[in-house]
Amino acid sequence: MRSVKGALFIVLSFYLAACAGKPSRVTSEVNEKYKTFVAKQSYEPVDRITSFRFYSWSYLSEDYIILSTTMSKPHLIEFKTPCYDLRFSHKIKVNNTGSSLNANFDSIKILDSAFPSCYIKAIYPLTKEQAKELENLE
């Protein structure tokens, strides 16, 4: 019985690793849609958010989330690499430096996930209207 469980564990591990290793075509298309939208809108990235205080977040894709510092200050966050498990997460932890959030240095950690932290590639300040437009894009 023990060897059957062990074999099943190994098979499931390989299956999950194969699924996690390659983004699906749909995921790639969604990420490309956000990337194109950001380029068309000519959003200018900033190096940091000063006086950062985490308020809320919204999932867009494995590469993008909207992070708000208050109800009226949303920011588009782009990750350096895909942030797996984010779609299914209810809680995240923002690993920031002091009272600022810095691109290319700080990260987002999905709580209750085996995946490592997701490092921030770029931060784009948004208006509430731009954030709504991005959330309704898909």
Query: Which of 112, 68, 61 lies closest to 84 in space, CA to CA?
Result: 61
Instruction: Read off the pLDDT of each residue in 57-83 and give the average, rounded to a whole number.
Output: 92
Amino acid at 94: V
- Spatial distance between the Cα atoms of 77 and 67, rounded to a whole number of angstroms: 7
| Per-residue pLDDT reduced to its tens digit, 96-117 | 988 999 999 999 999 888 888 9
- What's the chain's length in residues? 138
| Residue 9 domain flag | no
According to DSSP, the residues that pair with 66 across neighbouring strands are 58, 76
Residue 57 has pLDDT above 90, yes or no: yes
| Residue 18 domain flag | no
pLDDT of residue 73: 92
According to DSSP, the residues that pair with 125 across neighbouring strands are 75
| Residue 88 domain flag | yes
Longest Cα pair distance anywhere in the chain, in angstroms? 60
User: What's the chain's average pLDDT?
Assistant: 83
The pTM assigned to this predicted structure is: 0.77
| Residue 15 domain flag | no
| Per-residue pLDDT reduced to its tens digit, 9-21 | 554 454 444 444 4
| Residue 4 domain flag | no
pLDDT of residue 84: 86
**Residues spanned by the domain of 90:** 26-135
- Spatial distance between the Cα atoms of 37 and 48, rounded to a whole number of angstroms: 22
